[in-house]
Amino acid sequence: MTISQTRTRSRAALSGAAPRRRLSNRGRQTRAAWLFLTPSLAILAVFVLWPMCQAGYLSLTRYNLMQTAQWVGLGNYRQMLHDPAVRNALRNTLVYAAVSTPVSVVLAFALALFLNRAMALRGFLRSAVFLPFVVSLGVVSIAWSFMLDPNIGLLTDWLSHLGISTQQGWLTDPTYAMPTIIAVGVWKNVGFYMIMYLAGLQSIPGELYDAARADGANAWQRLRRVTWPLLANQTMLITIMAAIGTLQAFDQIYVMTHGGPFFQTETLVMFTYRLGFEQNQFGYAAAVSWVLLVLVFVLSMAQFTYFRKRVVTY
């Protein structure tokens, strides 16, 4: 024991104070992590958790801006069971998600495979496919509304020359309004999902493909046995993100159709907006929003459970 250590312990003994224990390396890392997370957690608590709790309380009341909230318990939820407007919005939401999600995933995977090869203008093509994702969806929706206008729409005129037309217009025909909305949504987001697949493709070791070729595997077999299984991580993430995004679709539908024609494109989010900000039924709107929250949570957990079994490392 050195003289300095002896003096330090003697001073601590004389003063009656116990020697301070230094934090371990793990403790310092934990404290630093919490310090970095505190601002984000505070923002989430104020702008996410607290509004969710407020919406949960409002969903149990009958409330508008003209009078105080009246407690109705589960009355709003019981009303939803017999409301045809809720069933219509739920059906439209599920149709939008069930069609848009797999189409986006398959198309993004195909584009990633095509643009992962060496070719001329590869960087330009990647940027062109990714560019719509950068542009605001509201701006994109306005542009598409003009192009699909039955009177002055450029795309409508081109399609009419090919013999593809509708008398009422693509966004005002109940038969074609939802497919048109889905097509625009897929076009908007497929570039982002393609980039995620490209990152996954470029992280696959080339030795695996060399081994597959040495075993006599053709291109289809390499795609099926090597590429697709090793992209399970990306597929899980892209599928969950695409599904949640489609369940929350609002701005595109609000700009292009406002839920019409005849409520054929009105999703749960659009229905919630109409209840709250057009009919001032904030309690009922909050109950519908909580149903959507539960739907998103259940779908996310189901997809996570399914794809977790297929997660791979290499």
Q: How far is CA 45 from the centre of its chain?
A: 20
CATH number assigned to the domain comprising residue 187:
1.10.3720.10
Per-residue pLDDT in tens (0 to 9) along the chain, 314 residues: 554 555 555 554 545 544 445 567 888 888 888 999 999 999 999 998 998 898 899 899 998 878 788 898 898 999 999 999 999 999 999 999 999 999 999 999 999 999 998 888 888 999 999 999 999 888 999 999 999 988 888 888 888 888 888 878 889 888 899 999 999 999 999 999 999 999 999 988 888 888 988 888 888 888 888 888 888 888 888 988 898 888 888 989 999 999 988 899 999 999 999 998 888 899 999 999 998 888 888 877 877 777 666 555 55
How many domains does the structure of the chain reveal? 1
Burial classification of residue 237, based on how many CB atoms lie within 10 Å of its CB (0-12 exposed, 13-18 middle, 19 or more buried): middle
Other Cβ atoms less than 10 A from the Cβ of 181: the count is 25
The answer to whether residue 161 sits within a structural domain is yes
Q: 178 lies in a domain?
A: yes
Q: Is 58 among the domain residues?
A: no
Q: Does residue 212 fall inside a structural domain?
A: yes
- Residue 101 in any domain: the answer is yes
Q: Look up the domain containing 179 and give its range.
A: 83-308
Q: Per the domain annotation, does 7 fall within a domain?
A: no
Give how far Cα 253 sits from Cα of 111, 204, 247, 264, 277, Å. Answer: 26, 38, 12, 11, 16
Q: Is residue 63 part of a domain?
A: no
The model carries a pTM of 0.81
Per the domain annotation, does 214 fall within a domain? yes
